A and B are shown apart, each in its own frame.
Chain A
């Protein structure tokens, strides 16, 4: 972990209620896709944790959905604003065990960290496939960005306004899947794990106090006892979780 001051380069709306911030600053603490940062939002007591969408030396981006007081305030942040950020938090996705054709499954605000993961897998000469689910066509994002990488993308929306009607599982073939990575709402993650016959990794979300292991606020019970989502996670192997 490293505490940094980040400069907001962009904060643009990319879909309904969904924004993308690009920061510039020290990214040296990030080591894996799926890690997160914890952002101070002035006027609110606790920091707000966000999975990193992508980073390169000197730049990092997050995508967030406006759901509460913190994200509401963030949506008003202007270019040029400085924010205090804890960076390089958590254990991210491991790309070692992916096999040649992993399936990347994302639901809503869980889609962003899959972008960096997808690019890393491609750089390792693997052939990822992406399946994403959203509430409606207006909330969908990144489907073209994935396609532009040459990756097959399937989409589901709850209201059927884009792609298959239903959940993300209705848009992917878990029976043909040899390894998966999933990030999204807990109900989606449980359904994915239940439907899969292969191994995989899931990124969990939990309300956090500190984001760096001190408060024990975000504990999840695993096969190896209670673990902190912020420190031993947010990414866990499917087999570790007790569902």
Chain B
């Protein structure tokens, strides 16, 4: 018997695999395919104070071992998430979910956290200060330690729930931003959000994406994410959630060795709707292959 259970910011999870925000909707489409109670958890579609239609299409482009997206935080808004999505989730998912939130001002972040504070099924709040596809929101707060600290401070005052700040890789020094969030009371950090990229269409000679740029994800970014988890692990004490191109049980082990307590699986869900379930199923054998009895013994083991 191997032990896959981990504790993330005080909340026990049967395994470290969380479906990443923006690749899992509000869980419903996947719950129709398999019993998603096998997941460690899932992070809900990034939610803003008001409903958003998102960016114009095309929003998707492909590249070697990955993809670009410029969805632009399309979501029904916090009130509908609370009144419609969370009750629906309660019918098919019986563990704490992660609520991923985004705002266009510090006050908006705080207000969303306040409204989520009383929601029983919300385990963690994941502050998205790193969306590269929305102007004036998201990434604008994640690129400087000062603004990242401001958002974290305001959110910290607005909720008693475990607060995880989702960091952007599009910065000069991610450790500096991580430390600033930790100092303002973040209970954990998740990284990385997507890397800013673009593609051009040789026939039209124009960008493939209507938004011009988009966020790169998929196996292509795994080494970047791993490197950043490794670096941030050395700079902070709070637990880390490793995100970026994870698509196998071995990727999970590698990310935990670098310092992650849990991981998020994102783009892999889009090409294989059963990716999270398959990775969780494969974990015990992968652990056995490397003589790992307890996943907790692995966290940060590479340091």
- Give me the interface of A with B, judged by CB distance under 8 Å: 1, 3, 40, 44-47, 86, 206-210, 212-221, 225-226, 231
Whether A1 contacts B33 in the complex (CB less than 8 A), given A46-B67, A206-B57, comes out as yes
What are 16 A-B interface contacts by the 8 Å CB criterion?
A3-B274, A46-B271, A86-B273, A206-B57, A208-B60, A209-B67, A209-B69, A209-B270, A210-B270, A213-B25, A214-B23, A214-B30, A215-B69, A219-B53, A225-B53, A231-B29
Whether A207 contacts B67 in the complex (CB less than 8 A), given A214-B25, A214-B30, comes out as no
* A215 B60 Cβ-Cβ under 8 A: yes
Task: Pick the residue among B30, B45, B54, B63 that contacts A45 (CB under 8 A).
Answer: B63
Q: How many contacts A-B (CB < 8 Å)?
A: 88
* B22 A216 Cβ-Cβ under 8 A: yes
Q: Which B residues touch A1, using CB under 8 A?
A: 32-33, 273
In the complex, per-residue mask of B28-47: 1 if CB is within 8 Å of any chain A CB, else 0: 01101100000000000100
Give A3 Cβ to nearest chain B Cβ, in Å.
Answer: 7
Q: Which B residues touch A45, using CB under 8 A?
A: 62-67, 218-219, 267, 271
Task: Pick the residue among B32, B62, B63, B71 that contacts A215 (CB under 8 A).
Answer: B71
Task: Pick the residue among A3, A208, A219, A221 that contacts B273 (CB under 8 A).
Answer: A3
Does B24 interact with chain A (Cβ within 8 Å)?
A: yes
Does B269 interact with chain A (Cβ within 8 Å)?
A: yes
* A214 B59 Cβ-Cβ under 8 A: no
Give A67 Cβ to nearest chain B Cβ, in Å.
Answer: 9
Name the 9 nearest CB pairs between A and B, nearest first: A210-B270, A217-B60, A207-B58, A213-B29, A209-B60, A207-B60, A217-B59, A226-B53, A216-B71
Q: Which A residues touch B159, using CB under 8 A?
A: none
For the complex, give the distance between the alpha carbons of A46 and B64 in Å: 10
* A219 B270 Cβ-Cβ under 8 A: no
Q: Which B residues touch A226, using CB under 8 A?
A: 53-54, 74
* A212 B273 Cβ-Cβ under 8 A: yes
Task: Pick the residue among B32, B54, B66, B219 that contacts A216 (CB under 8 A).
Answer: B54
Does B112 interact with chain A (Cβ within 8 Å)?
A: no
For the complex, give the distance between the alpha carbons of A47 and B60 in Å: 12
Does B61 interact with chain A (Cβ within 8 Å)?
A: yes
Q: Which B residues touch A214, using CB under 8 A?
A: 23-25, 29-30, 269-270, 273
Interface centre among B267, B269, B270 (most CB of A within 10 A): B270
Interface residues of B in 137-168 (CB under 8 A from A): none
Contacts A46-B62, A216-B22, A226-B74 aside, 4 further interface pairs with beta carbons under 8 A come to A210-B271, A212-B273, A214-B29, A216-B74
